[in-house]
Structures are given as C-alpha cells and as structure tokens.
Structure 1
Amino acid sequence: MKNDHSALRRKIILQVVLIAILAPALWFLIQYLLIDGLFQAAFAEWFVHLCENLFKISYYDGVNMYQQLFRNNRGVWLSAGLIVVLLLVFYFVLSRMTRYFNEVSAGIDQLVDESGGEIVLSPEMDFIAAKLNEIKTKLDKRERDVKEAEQRKNDLVVDLAHDLRTPLTSVIGYLSLLDEAPDMPVEQKARYIGITLEKANRLEQLINEFFDITRFNLQSIVLEREKINLSFMLQQMADEFYPLAAPAGKQVTVNAPEDLSIWGDADKLARVFNNLLKNAISYSFDHTTIEIEAIQRDEIIEVSITNQGNPIPAQKLNQVFEKFFRLDEARSSHSGGAGLGLAIAREIVTAHGGAISAQSDEHATIFRVSLPVQTPANS
C-alpha cells in the first residue's frame, strides 16, 4: 500500500483551520462579554463588592481601584487573555498530535508483543496500519518458516542417526565374517568386500550430510574469485556424471559457446552445478537426456539445466530452495539427501550477485542460474 497521507493531512489541516477560527472568536467573545460587553457591569460590581468586604474600603474607593486595575490597563489584560487562549489552543493541538503518536506506539507495541490481533488505527492513519500489518505478516511468516526449518532439521537428524545404524551394522557384520573365515572362497570374499564397500560409502555420505548441516548453519560464504572457463567446467561435470547416468540410459549434453568465461569462485560454482545436475539425474526418467545450456545476454550469463521427469507440484516449487526441504516425503535409507543441495546452491548464487529459479510442468523441469559477468575490478 502506498504512503497515502492525504486523509491524515486533510484531518490535520481541518483541525488547524478550525482552531485558527475558534481562537480569535473565543478571544473576541471574552473581550466583548467580560471587558466591553454584556458582563462588564456585573464583573465591575462583583469586583467592587469584593474590595469592600476584603479590604474594608468604601464603594467609591473600590470603583477607583477597578478603574486603575482594569479600565486603565485594558491593553495588558487583553494581551494576557490572548496569551492564555493561545496556550490553551496550543495544548489542544499538541494533544491531538500526541494521540496519533500514541496510536502508532501502541501499534508498534502490538507488533513487538507478537499478539495475534490485527493492528487497527484511526481511519486517517490506515496507511500506517496497513504497513504495520504487512510487517507483522512478514514477521509471522518468517517465524513460521524458521520453526518449520528447525523441525525439518530435527527430523532429518533423527532420520540420519537412524540410517547410520544400518550401513554401520552391515560393515561390522561383513568384516566380522571376513575376519572369522580367512579361508573363505574368493568369489564369496569379493562379494562381501563389495557389499562392505557399498555400505561404507553410504556411511560416508550420511556423515558428510551431518557436516553439511553444521557448515550451513555456522559458516558464511566467503568467495575466492578467479576467472573461470564456464564452458569447460560444465563439460567436465557432464563427463563426471556419466557413470551415474549411463546405467539408466540417461545422457548429459552441454550446449555452451566456447571460451564462455565468468569471474567467480570456481569451487563454489562447481558445487552449484554439481547439486543441480545430480538433482536432475536423480529425478529424470530413464533413457532421457539432461540438457545443460549456457548463454550470455549483455552482462548476464544464464545457465539452465533441463530434465524430463515427474513435475514438481506447484505448491512445492517455491520450497525446493529452502534448507532441509526434501521433495520426497518418505525418505529412503539408500537415497535422498539432507535437503541442503538446492538451499546451498541458492546461497552461493546469491553471494555471487545472481539468482536461481525453477519451473516445472508435465514436459520438463528447468533450473536456471543467472550470474553477472564480473571482473576483478567490480567484483
């Protein structure tokens, strides 16, 4: 909502105009009623009578005292009366302005106290009430997001701790069999060793996820920038993921201009594209192609990674970059990460001054990374 001060401004101007009219009217009323008008004779008689009783003087001496105090000093009394009227008017105006400040202060207190009700102010301050309620809504949402992320993290830690037992038990069990039977047949020994190695690798992956959780919460991202051949980096990653993609008949293609370069942190950007590519391979259909495309538009380089698979539900599309969010509700002990890959990717891209987004439908899921082309001078 825009800062529409018009209602408040009209209210203040109206009050000022009314006060500007009423102040002199009141002053003239006092002057013509008490000093020169209707109640002048009554006031004079009252004053003379007071002097007779209080000071024990004659009627004529009382009249003379009235003449000396009031009639001869008429200008002084008029000035004093005007000052009193102005002070009363000033107090009235100040009290009206203070009421607005008190309302805003009460609204801020309600915002700080996190009370559940809507903040309501005077009609002429609806724009301030709208902004306070907007801030309140954002703070409430942020608090809910933090609690949800914390709950997801706690659930994840419990899941990972539980999952650690399975591969560890298998490693210990197969190593015990190998230790107890040194003359075991070669084929059987090779099979046990292969299973043990597989479980040990899974155990290492789970431990790395624990480290990711800690690093994500405790470390800020520090960039060590250098000139990067982005085309070479993307092609190299496509080659590295061949063993993961090939068994399911998947391919990874790269379409990028030669010598496409960017100024950034090579290790951290590699992690961004590694996480995105691993995600694309994990959630794509068998015998499909994952397409990596990079293009430069003016001072922006855009990298998109497209895969064909089940679409991401629209209500979850904006959550995939939140930490500890996992698309699969039921986590497998053999697959699924800590829900940090895309969240870390967003943090790294943001640290580079870029943006990351996702779109998904029944045809394809596309993750786009936009990065500014920077130099050592302006990075």
Structure 2
Amino acid sequence: MYFRTRIFTISILTVSAVLAVVVTLSWSRIMKVELDHLDSRLCMEAKRIMPKHGINSPPPNLLMSKDRELSGSKLIDDLVDKLRVSSSEQLMILVESNKDGILTKSKGDDVQHIISNLNWIDADISEPPSSKRSEPLCQYAFFEHQNNQWRASFYQTPTTQSFMAVDVAATNRELESTLQSTIIVVIPFSLLLSILGAWFIASNTIRPINRLHKSMALVTQKDLSHRLPEHKEDKEFKLLINTYNTMLNRLEESFQQTSRFTADAAHELKTPLTVLRGKLEQAVNCENPSQLDLNAILDEVGHLSAITRKLLLLSQADSGSMALHLEPINMTELLDELTADMELLSDDLILHCSIEKNLILKGDIVLLRQLFNNLLVNVMRYSIFDKGVSIQTNLTGTTLEIRISNACQPISNEVRNQLFERFYRGEPDYTQGISGSGLGLSLAKEIARAHGGDLILEPSENDVFSMRLLLPIVK
C-alpha cells in the first residue's frame, strides 16, 4: 500500500468515526433536551386545563358529557398541536376536583389506576402529590404503557388536580424524521469535505517526502557531496534531513579514508617490494654469490611482513573481528621488560619510570606487546633523549592508566590532530631520515579499543608528546 493511500484511508476513517460519535452524542443530547421541554409543556398544559373560576366551572373549551369523559374536539386538537402528537390516542388526561370528583378524563384507559402506580421523580419531592398541600405542585414521571414509553405530569392545587401524559414515540418519530432529513443533506456533504480534506492532508504530507526522494536520487557512489536542503521543511523532516546528511558525512569520510588508506598502503608496500625486486634481480645477475647482500634482502622482507601484519590487524579492527586470546598478564613485568630493552638500545636515553607492583589484567599478550612496542618505538624515534622519557602507571578502580610522555621537537596542533590517521607521519621535515610506516599509533589505538580501553593524546606544550593508555582490569 502506498503511503499516500494509507494516510488518505486513515483520514477518511477518522473523520467517519468522529462524525458517527458526534451524531450519536448529538442525538442523545437532543433527546434529553426535547424530553425536558416536553415535561415543561406537559406541566403547563396540565395547569391550563384546570378550572380557574370555581370548582364547578369547567376549563375553557372543555365540554362535559354525562359520564364526564373528554368529548371536546377543539381542546383535543389544541393539545395535539401543542404537544406535537399525531392523534388523541397518544394523550391521557384526567381533571379531578375534591368536591365534584372527576371533571374529565380520557376514554379507554384506566387513568386513575395508572396514576396510582407511578413513581414521581420530581427533584425536590419524591412522594406522590397529596391534597393536603396548600401550594400548587407539578411533578413529573415516566412509565411504560402498551409497550410504549410515556411522559406524564401531575399538577395539583388544594381543591383540584390534573394529570396529563403523552406517548414519547410521537416525539421520537418527529426527531428521527428531522434527523434523517438532516443526515440526507449533511452526511454526503460531510463525506465530500472529508474526502477533499483527506486528499489535501495526504498530498501535503507526501510532498516533503517526494522532495527528499528527488534529492536522495542525486546521491550516488561517485558523488557523496550532495546534501539535502533543510529550508522550508517542517521540524520533523528537518530532524530526518539532519540525520541523513550526518550519515552522508560519515559515508563520505569513510570512502575518502578507504581510498586514502588504499593509496597509502600501495605506496608503502611499493617501496620495500621495489627494493626487494632490485636485490633479487641483482642476485640473479650476480656471478659471485659472495657479493649478495642477504641481510638487506631479509630486512626488506621483514619490513614488508611488518606492514602486512599491521594492515591485517587494522582490517580486523575495522570489521570488529580482531580475535583476542585473553590470559592473565603481569603488566608490571611486561613494562619492566620493555623499558629494559629501551635502555639497552640507547645509552643516552634518560628514563623515568614509576610502575606499580602486581598489575595483573586479562588481555592478549601478543597484541599488547605490539601496542607497547609501537608506543615505545615512537618514543625512541622522536624523543629528545637528554630531556628524558617518563612512564607512569596508576590504578584507579577497575582501570589501569599508563602515561608515556617525552620531550620532542615542537609539534603543531594541526599535526597532533592527524597523528592517529593511518599512514600519516607528520611533516616531512620532522620525519626526514626516520623510518616508519605511519601505522603504529593507529594500530595501538585499535588494539586498546579491542581490549575495552582507549589511547588518548593528552593536551600538552607543543614540545612535549604525552599519551595516556586506558585498559580495564578484568580478573
């Protein structure tokens, strides 16, 4: 199903449901108001038909027969019109005097029996009317008679009382007829408006999505620089656009990094391969085997092997598949061993070590040795020996913190921000004559992260290089 169709359908169903609820509630409210008005009209008519000029004086237009039953057609017609009923069969009337008895009553029904069985529901008086009351009183009741619902009123004075009831079915039929005639006009018009409104809502909702679709279609593998515009969009779509543009930024950065990594890797591998090829060609053409420089060939092979291993580890880190063979490692002994090797490699190196005893954690001994070798070789290559190298350890909670800092040639902030990029070795003037592939620091950072830690370049003066290694203690 199309998104536009779904929105259109939901809008139609919502409007239809609201319309049905409104009609139902309106019908209930109209019925209640109409019945309240009917009670008031019944009370007024019951009061009107009572004698006003003495007990023996009949009400206006009320004709009396010998059996005192109602026979005045004019009064009936008047009540039928005012109470909006279709015939006199839908009316009950009783007028009674304390002295003369029944003055008039409806034909056919035992009105007195009906009155005696009613439960009056006046808000103030819950008992039936009594002739002992000194003030006129009108009460209301509803009852069922001959399978129809009736509303009744009872009006009383100290000497007379009148009862009047009407079949509610007449009122219901009138209201239903009015409602049906209204619905015939309102429902089609409402449905038409709801259809137009739903289509308008669906079209306006889908329009930003169409714009996004057209903009996204411009983004290709060869052109990731296109970004979606944010102007004139709703807040929700702006959030979506920001998220999409951020994703494109990451993708573009990743593609650029991959392309740069591939080019740098090819360049780094090209040099030892070229040297190795030259040495092998020389060996093939050399008539005197004693003149072969096998050590140079082995050095190039070792250099090539080291680069290949680092590239393999970095690719595993990128894919999240760097395998760790965890085992308990005494970091104190490992650091002591590596710092002793540093002192053997250089007599001029001033080393300041502050290593705590019995630092035990679980890790991959081969990878951690690779990590520290990369860091310490970096220190050996770029440090100013007579100014010293500092190695400090600190155990805080469940984290082992190792700080390695050394004095060096001034390094700009721009260079510092790129030191963890692969194959980046800094400014050429600074690295001239120093061997390396530019993979050491990036590989060390990935190994630290694979162990659940991190390698951070700490802020320092431009002539000081300080690294902070964090490793979790897992016992």
Query: Normalised by the size of structure 2, how large is the TM-score?
Result: 0.53
Q: Among residues 119, 136, 140, which one is paired with 2:249 in the alignment?
A: 140
1:237 is matched with 338
The answer on 1:162 being equivalent to 2:271 is: yes
- Give CA deviations for 1:248-290 in whole Å, capped at 9, x if unaligned: x123332121001222222212211111111121111132322
Preserved CA contact (<8 Å) 2:355 2:392: yes
CA distance in 1, matches of 2:351, 2:210: 59
Judged with a 3 Å threshold, the aligned counterparts in structure 2 of structure 1 residues 118 and 372 are, in CA distance, closer, same or farther, namely same
Identity %: 20
1:311-322 alignment runs, 5 A limit: 311-322=410-421
- Give CA deviations for 1:218-249 in whole Å, capped at 9, x if unaligned: 57211121222111111111112334333xx1
CA distance in 2, matches of 1:171, 1:289: 42
1:100 is matched with 205
CA distance in 2, matches of 1:280, 1:172: 37
- Give CA deviations for 1:126-158 in whole Å, capped at 9, x if unaligned: 354155235414522542343244224314423
Post-superposition shift, 1:77? 3.7
CA distance in 2, matches of 1:242, 1:116: 54
1:181-220 alignment runs, 5 A limit: 196-197=294-295, 200-217=298-315, 220=321
2:423 is matched with 324
- 3-state SS of the aligned residue for 1:241? helix
- Give CA deviations for 1:295-326 in whole Å, capped at 9, x if unaligned: 01122211111011024321232322222322
Structure 1 runs (4+) deviating above 6 angstroms are: 174-177, 330-334
CA distance in 2, matches of 1:121, 1:86: 36
The answer on 1:83 being equivalent to 2:201 is: no
- 3-state SS of the aligned residue for 1:287? helix
CA distance in 1, matches of 2:449, 2:342: 25
- 3-state SS of the aligned residue for 2:414? helix
Judged with a 3 Å threshold, the aligned counterparts in structure 2 of structure 1 residues 94 and 310 are, in CA distance, closer, same or farther, namely farther
Q: Paired residues, what number? A: 294
Preserved CA contact (<8 Å) 1:254 1:291: yes
**Counterpart code for 2:404:** I
- 3-state SS of the aligned residue for 1:228? strand
Judged with a 3 Å threshold, the aligned counterparts in structure 2 of structure 1 residues 199 and 156 are, in CA distance, closer, same or farther, namely same
2:110 is matched with none
Post-superposition shift, 1:103? 1.5
CA distance in 1, matches of 2:278, 2:431: 17
- 3-state SS of the aligned residue for 1:303? strand
The answer on 1:120 being equivalent to 2:230 is: yes
More contact order relative to length (CA 8 Å, sep ≥ 6)? 1
CA distance in 2, matches of 1:214, 1:333: 27
CA distance in 1, matches of 2:190, 2:464: 75
Judged with a 3 Å threshold, the aligned counterparts in structure 2 of structure 1 residues 106 and 374 are, in CA distance, closer, same or farther, namely farther
Query: Normalised by the size of structure 1, how large is the TM-score?
Result: 0.65
- 3-state SS of the aligned residue for 1:227? strand
- 3-state SS of the aligned residue for 2:386? coil
- Mean Cα deviation higher: 345-354 or 141-150: 141-150
Post-superposition shift, 1:176? 8.1
CA distance in 2, matches of 1:312, 1:112: 44
1:370 is matched with 470
Preserved CA contact (<8 Å) 2:415 2:427: no
Q: Among residues 264, 283, 291, which one is paired with 2:382 in the alignment?
A: 283
CA distance in 2, matches of 1:215, 1:281: 23
Post-superposition shift, 1:343? 1.5
Which structure shows the higher strand fraction?
2
Gaps of 5+ in 1: 1-15, 25-70, 183-191
Preserved CA contact (<8 Å) 1:225 1:263: yes
2:446 is matched with 347
- 3-state SS of the aligned residue for 1:165? helix
- Give CA deviations for 1:61-106 in whole Å, capped at 9, x if unaligned: xxxxxxxxxx995422422443334432365256436633541464
CA distance in 1, matches of 2:265, 2:375: 21
Judged with a 3 Å threshold, the aligned counterparts in structure 2 of structure 1 residues 252 and 180 are, in CA distance, closer, same or farther, namely same
2:408 is matched with 309
Which structure shows the higher helix fraction?
1
- 3-state SS of the aligned residue for 1:296? strand
Q: Among residues 332, 356, 366, which one is paired with 1:267 in the alignment?
A: 366
Preserved CA contact (<8 Å) 2:326 2:363: yes
Preserved CA contact (<8 Å) 2:313 2:322: no
- Mean Cα deviation higher: 301-310 or 147-156: 147-156
1:41-52 alignment runs, 5 A limit: none
**Counterpart code for 1:371:** L
Preserved CA contact (<8 Å) 1:175 1:196: no
